Amino acid sequence: MNYSLLLKKYWKRNNMTKYKILVVDDDEYVRNMIVRYLQMKGYEVTSAVNGKEAVLKEEKIYPDLVILDVEMPEMNGFEACKIIREKRYGLNYVPIIFLSGSLTEGSVITGLELGADDFVKKPFEPLELLTRIKNLLKMKDFIAQVDLLESMVFTLVTSIEARDFYTASHSRRVSLLSGEIGRELGLQEEEIEILKKSALLHDIGKIGIPDRILNKKGKLMEEEFNLIKEHPGKGTEICKSLKLDPEVMGIIRHHHEKIDGSGYPDGLKGDEISKLIRIVTIADIFDAVTTNRPYHPAKSSCEAMSILTQEANEGKLDALIVKKFNEYFKVAMPS
């Protein structure tokens, strides 16, 4: 599947559609003025006279942005905002602008706690309101894009696990292990998040490897193993359109590299391999060794740690990271 093309189609379809805005105000003059102005600017606008009507119309038309007066009969803007916010999440996020003739510190705090994105004080210049609307719609599109990409990533990971019984949940375990090793090494939370996301995606290239090879029992032939070795490169190709952090892309491509240059796909050596890549490599090996695979039964955690230590002694893995993992392992999983 061409995921880059999928993204382009998604955004083309959404950019061809007018933004829908719900304007809610019990003042007929203000309400009609906003509606006419926004319609002139190319928006699809629906109006409501109070919070109760706004909640019903919001559910029906599914607007991209809501403009809410604060003080209204039957149901005020705060109550309507609370209800709308509780119904929306993820790709369904909707920006909300409050209008009020008497903005106070207390009302602003209340609005923010309920999930308001911006406040405009009456009377206002239409251009000011339009500018705030445009900025919030850009933010909405950005959030939608991020959520879409995250959704695509998790879908890809799940599809790999569904195809390969023996590595089911492998990526999730490697993600958790990588995060724990990162904490043991005293990394910043930002780096730990990169580790976890990268580890979750590290085997995503296996979606391009035939099932007969992924699930083959017994030793792989040389040409079959060469196909397996293509998965880091395939993974970076799949994720290229997702605009991921360069460090994440590096981990996806290089998680099978070894410090002595014996790894693949690029035969990197020493400092060419970042600390984050080294961490994911160690977590990947540990989980692979302790999991039943078509070509070998699971080894014990102690046996896996011995293999890591041996490879560190041979100069293939980072000895300090293996040592820290071993210390964590003894505390977290005492014999």
Are 254 and 136 in the same domain?
no
Residues in CB range of 83: below 8 A, 6 or more apart: 55
H-state helical runs in 164-214: 170-184, 189-201, 211-214
Query: Do 102 and 224 have their domain in common?
Result: no
For the full predicted model, state whether its pTM sits above 0.85.
no
* 152 found inside a domain: no
Least confident of 68-82, 104-118, 317-331: 104-118
Q: How many domains does the chain have?
A: 2
7 confidence band (pLDDT: 50, 70, 90): very low
CA atoms within 13 A on the CB side of 127: 0
Looking up residue 246, the CATH number of its domain turns out to be 1.10.3210.10
Q: Do 126 and 273 have their domain in common?
A: no
pLDDT for residue 148: 64
Q: Once rounded to an integer, what is the mean pLDDT over residues 117-135?
A: 89
Mode of pairing for the β-strands spanning 118-121 and 44-48: unpaired
Q: By residue range, what is the domain housing residue 72?
A: 3-145
Please name the amino acid found at residue 176: L
Q: 10 and 134: one domain?
A: yes
Residue 9 is predicted with a pLDDT of 44
Residue 158 in any domain: the answer is: no
Out of 33-47, 130-144, 191-205, the most confident range is 33-47
pLDDT at 150 (0 to 100): 63
CATH of the domain at 8: 3.40.50.2300
- Band the pLDDT of 165: cuts 50, 70, 90: low
265 plus 309 within the same structural domain:
yes
- Residues 318 and 139: their CA atoms lie apart, in Å, by 42
Final residue of a structural domain among 83, 115, 145: 145
**19 and 52 inside one domain:** yes
Sequence letter at residue 268: L
**Residues 220, 83 within the same domain:** no
What's the pLDDT at 329?
Answer: 76
In this structure, are 171 and 316 located in the same domain?
Answer: yes
